[in-house]
Amino acid sequence: MEKKTIEKIQGVENNTILDSGERHTAKSMLTQLRQCIENKVIEKDEVPKLKTIQNWITHYTNQHHQEAAEIMARAQEKT
């Protein structure tokens, strides 16, 4: 997702699209983004395709797992 699109979405009150406490599938995120189009928060051409969202989720999930593994390794070194 483009940075300006993310910034627009983050500015929406009661945002649940990029709320780290919420879990979304690529399909549910796309649905939320389409609601943002209807609410005139973002333009239709700013919404990525479903496959792009799936790749984005996979990338950040892998990144999170790697960071968690590094934290665990550091914690084990201290004990």
pLDDT digits (tens, 9 = 90+) for 17-75: 555 566 778 898 889 889 889 988 888 998 889 998 898 888 888 999 999 999 999 99
Using alpha carbons, select from 45, 25, 24, 42 the residue that is nearest to residue 33: 42
Sorted by where each begins, the domain ranges of the chain are: 3-78
Q: Which pLDDT does position 65 carry in this prediction?
A: 93
Give the mean model confidence (pLDDT) for residues 5-9: 68
The pTM of the full predicted model, rounded to 2 decimals, is 0.66
Q: Which pLDDT does position 20 carry in this prediction?
A: 58
Q: Cα–Cα distance between 73 and 67 in angstroms, integer?
A: 10
pLDDT at 13 over 60: no
